[in-house]
Structure 1
Amino acid sequence: MKTILITGSNSDIGIAVAKALSDRPLQLALQYYSNQAKASELQAWLNEKNVPSRLFQCDLTEPRQAESLIAQSLEAFGSIDVLINIVGPFVYKNILEVTPEEWFADINLNLHTCFNTSYYAMNELRRNHGQIINFAFSGVENIKAWSMSAGYCAAKTGVAVLTKSLAAALAPHKVRVNAICPGLVEEGNISAEERQHMADQIPYGRPVHPDEIGKTTAWLIWNSPESMTGSLITVAGAWEY
């Protein structure tokens, strides 16, 4: 039975990932920062499926809280086999209007959280030949101007570099590190007009469904090739940001 730690577990993608993984025997450590009601709703769903889970509220931009999350997860379940770093909100604002505080918040939330959890989980993942799954976005590998989301894109580009760097460094220890790169995902209660606007941009003709991200995560954990590491896996209907 695998123990899987999911950060940002009460986001739409986090919930979809947790539910997609619940078809197999596993234990889930679920990190969230705010909106405890949504996190508790997910845990109630998992309880109905007889999936053991624990909720952990913490701010992963703080290294000590990331360290505590890993320690508490190990205390609760005895091991961590997979770390899934989903934390990282999209921010849309003109770079000419972004303040230093907002810039640092983008980098902290989207990049530093990913490093912090990976750092403190590394020894445990080496011990059991585990996996790290990060999240970036479709097109992250193409350096171009993202003037309306520069902080987010800079951070996620950093996540791509971090993913490949950790993959190379941890490969001798048989720890796999990959990143899923979603396109436009149909999250929350969007209107028909918003859905159509998204669809018009996507060659496949519709947004990505959160459960497709969940299925990709499950495949990566259980069915992907053993030597698959350092990959950026795009799920985007041929759309790139």
Structure 2
Amino acid sequence: MKTILITGSNSDIGIAVAKALSDQPLQLALQYYSNHSKASELQAWLDAKTVRSRLFQCDLTKPEQAESLIAQTLSEFGSIDDLINVVGPFVYKDVLDVTPQEWFDDINQNLHTCFYTCHYALDELRRNQGQIINFAFSGVENIKAWPMSAGYCAAKTGVAALTKSLAVALAPHKVRVNAICPGLVEEGHISAEERRQMASQIPYGRPIHPDEIGKTAAWLVWNSPESMTGSLITVAGAWEY
């Protein structure tokens, strides 16, 4: 039975990933930073499906807390087979108005957190010939001007580079490393007008549903080819940021 650690598990995408994975026997370690009630709702849903899970509240921008998360997961479940790094908030602000602290926070929350969890889980993932799934965004591989989200995009471009670098370094150990690159995702309680505005930008004609991201993660974990590693997998309805 696999043990899977999901960071940012109480985000809409994190919840969708956890639910999609739970169609197979597994154990889930669920990291979250805030909003305990939303995390608890997910755990209650998993309990109803008799999926063993545990919530871990921690701040992954602090490397010592990332290290502790890995240690606590191993103490609770005995192994980690897959690491799914969902955590990474989107920030929309003109780069000319971004402060040095805001820039640091963007990089810290979106890139450093990803590196820290990967770093501290490496020994266990090598032992289990496991898998890492990171999150970037649709179009990340094409350097463009992103003046309203420069910090976020710089960080996620770093995640793409980290994903490919880890894939090469870990391939001899049969550890796979891929990234999912979502487009405009219909998260939270967006209005009908917001939905129309999003849809007008997307060739497919509608935003991406969180459960479609969840299904992609589940496919990577359960059904993707054994040699598939170093891939950036776009789920965006042919839209690029």
Given the two structures, how large is their TM-score scaled by the length of structure 1? Answer: 1.00
The secondary structure found in structure 2 opposite 1:59 is coil
C-alpha distance in structure 2 between counterparts of 1:126 and 1:100, whole Å:
37
Task: Tell me which residue corresponds to 1:47.
Answer: 47
* Equivalence for 2:119: 119
Structure 2 counterparts to residues 38-187 of structure 1, below 5 A: 38-187=38-187
Provide the rounded CA distance (Å) in 1 between the counterparts of 2:192 and 2:210. 17
In 1, distance between residues paired with 2:22 and 2:225?
21
Residues 30-50 of structure 1 deviation map (CA, whole Å, 9 limit, x = unaligned): 000000000001000000000
Displacement after TM superposition at 1:54 (Å): 0.3
Give RMSD over aligned pairs.
0.3
CA distances 1:90-140 after superposition (whole Å, capped 9, x unpaired): 000000000000000000000000000000000000001000000000000
SS in 1 for 2:189: coil
SS in 1 for 2:233: strand
Deviation at 1:55, TM superposition (A): 0.2
What CA distance in whole angstroms lies between the structure 2 residues aligned with 1:83 and 1:63?
16
- Name the counterpart of 1:238: 238
Structure 1 position 160, deviation (Å): 0.1
1:22 and 1:29 map into 2 onto residues whose CA distance is 12
Amino acid corresponding to residue 135 of structure 2 in structure 1: F
How many aligned positions are there? 241
Aligned counterparts of 1:181 and 1:17: Cα–Cα separation in 2: 14
Identity of aligned residues (%): 85
Q: CA deviation at 1:22?
A: 0.6
Whole-angstrom CA distance in 2 between matches of 1:53 and 1:192 = 35
- CA distance in 2: counterparts of 1:82 and 1:55, whole angstroms: 16
Q: Does 1:27 align with 2:37?
A: no
Could you tell me which amino acid in structure 2 is paired with residue 141 of structure 1?
E
> Structure 2: any 5+ residue segments left out of the alignment?
none
User: In 2, Cα distance between the equivalents of 1:108 and 1:51?
Assistant: 32
Q: Equivalents in 2 of 1:14, 1:157: separation in Å?
A: 20
Shift of the alpha carbon at 1:225? Answer: 0.6
- Alignment match, 1:221: 221
Runs of 4+ in 1 over 3 A off after TM superposition: none
Which whole-Å CA distance do the structure 1 matches of 2:160 and 2:226 have between them? Answer: 20
* Amino acid across the alignment from 2:126: R
Q: Tell me the secondary structure at the aligned position of residue 118 of structure 1.
A: helix
**CA–CA separation in structure 1 for the residues paired with 2:231 and 2:23:** 25
Shift of 1:153: 0.0
TM-score between both structures, scaled by the size of structure 2:
1.00
Alpha-carbon deviations, 1:2-39, whole Å to 9, x = none? 00000000000000000000110000000000000000
- Once the two structures are TM-superposed, the CA of residue 81 in structure 1 deviates from its matched residue by 0.2
SS, match of residue 143 in structure 1:
coil
* Alignment map for 1:178-197 (pairs within 5 Å): 178-197=178-197
Rounded Cα–Cα distance in structure 2 between residues aligned with 1:51 and 1:103: 39
Q: C-alpha distance in 2, partners of 1:222/1:28?
A: 15
